[in-house]
Amino acid sequence: MWVLTSIVAATLLTGCYAERVSIRGALPPQAPVGLHPGETTIAELLKPLGYATGAFGKWHLGEADEQSPHARGFEKTFTMMNGGGSHWASSMRLAM
């Protein structure tokens, strides 16, 4: 089931089929790709309308700065950035 994490995240956050946004499986740690910066997330749509935005849990959509939750419109985050890594707090990044 873990293979679906990137696919499900991309689908839920963009409203698009994962194939359309080029996510075809779980992105491994330090993957050279991620959710394309040209794709719009629900957070990027709602934030300008005054909604508070947050991402909590695993972030399997890329580790580069331009693919981070903050770059994708999320104000508050508590995420595990390294894809297939440990689920323990040492691998979580808190940014508020």
Are 66 and 45 a contacting pair, CB within 8 Å?
no
- Enumerate residues 6+ apart whose C-beta is below 8 A from 47: 53, 73, 75
Show pLDDT as tens, one digit a residue, over the chain (96 residues). 455 788 888 999 999 987 888 888 888 778 888 888 889 999 999 999 999 999 988 888 888 888 889 999 999 998 877 655 555 555 455 555
pTM of the predicted protein model: 0.77
- Enumerate residues 6+ apart whose C-beta is below 8 A from 41: 13, 14, 35, 72, 73
Q: How far apart are CA 19 and CA 2, in angstroms?
A: 17
- Enumerate residues 6+ apart whose C-beta is below 8 A from 19: none
